[in-house]
Structure 1
């Protein structure tokens, strides 16, 4: 296969790669980079393409492999290696006192807000907060499942409005 034929075939099938790149990266700019890298790799490795095979599958495979390699490279770059000496551990047993006053005040305000909820919302919310599943709460309160979900949703919404600064 000549270079011109390969390039024409590549261009005819390249547009199918754009949605796949966006699906992989979930970002337009990164998808454009992935698309360009894929086409570059395809052109650089055109001798590895077997004439008569599915070029779309070949291009998809190249794109997937480029994406995986980039992902692994980013994961390695995000790994932080600590080569500092551990001299600070000599004084590690020193005690410090933590002031929990602010956290206690915030917790009291949240509990007060929950307590001020109307009973119709407070009961299902508290049961859900205690770890019960929706269907278990519906059985306990003898209410339809949708009603329980709705009441818990509205309880969250009311609490969020009351406690906006957290």
Structure 2
């Protein structure tokens, strides 16, 4: 089972980045997900879609942590220590930052759908299973997320 889990680490990292605000938080979420998957290995049913199982574990862990953090406010999200000390000058880096901001400002249900389908490459059907909703809902969310990103990243074309 461990070989199968390791083949999904890259996709887990991408999904975690879409859920979390920082790379460090995303990496922690991936580690927690892998640990939880190993602990719950006996509940995995061979022949089912392992990536969807892992994403479900990650999503549940993320929302549990969000609820916990809401009860335990420990610091400010705009703390200076989390900001880069020297911004990169490359245009690609700036566009990437714009994309990250647009994704983070997007409602979570749209962000999850677009990342699963467009970034990680999950099918609409698998994304629907992971997010526990209808396939039509996923298609609608992905379409709306694309429109939100288009408006955020190409404001000159918004007439």
TM class by shorter chain equals 0.3 to 0.5
TM-score, structure 2 normalization:
0.45
TM-score, structure 1 normalization:
0.43
Q: Of the two, which has the highest radius of gyration?
A: 1
